[in-house]
Amino acid sequence: MPGAASTFGQFIALLEEGRLYIDLLSELRSVIVGLRDAAEASNGKVQATLNLKLDFVMESEVFLISAMSTTKFPDSKRARSHARLRARSHAWATDDGRFSPNPPNQGALFGVRDVGARPYRNA
């Protein structure tokens, strides 16, 4: 069970159960390949844009987070724009201002927990 996000990368990785992170990596690879191909074709400077938009709504104690990414490529004959479908992730805020996929006032029901050291018993 993942804990609360301490970095922006961890926050992105918890959205949409990790699918957003994987999709963004795929879009980033498309930007790299698209720019390399466009630069070879034009022998010049090329530019692309990858935008990420996050919308936050708070209902009671739960944050609803919608993410949308768009990619724009430079060459008009290759111009393409890809918009992800809007999907929502749920997150709760910890007292110290981090997002967590779990309610902070609810104990961990699954995953590894430290139960303290116990002496070995020989049955």
Pairing of strands 99-100, 81-83: unpaired
Tell me the β-bridge partners of 93.
99
Residue 38: predicted pLDDT: 82
pLDDT tens digit sequence for 19-70:
999 999 999 988 888 888 888 787 778 888 999 999 999 999 999 999 999 9
pLDDT value of residue 108: 60
Contact indicator for 72, 81 with CB cutoff of 8 Å: yes
Burial of 94 (0-12, 13-18, 19+ CB in 10 A): middle
The per-residue pLDDT for 95 is 81
pLDDT surpassing 80 at residue 101: yes
Q: How confident is the model at residue 1 (pLDDT cuts 50, 70, 90)?
A: low
pLDDT of residue 80: 47
Q: What is the pLDDT of residue 111?
A: 54
Average pLDDT on 72-98 reads: 64
Q: What is the pLDDT of residues 58-82, one digit of tens each?
A: 999 999 999 999 998 774 444 444 5
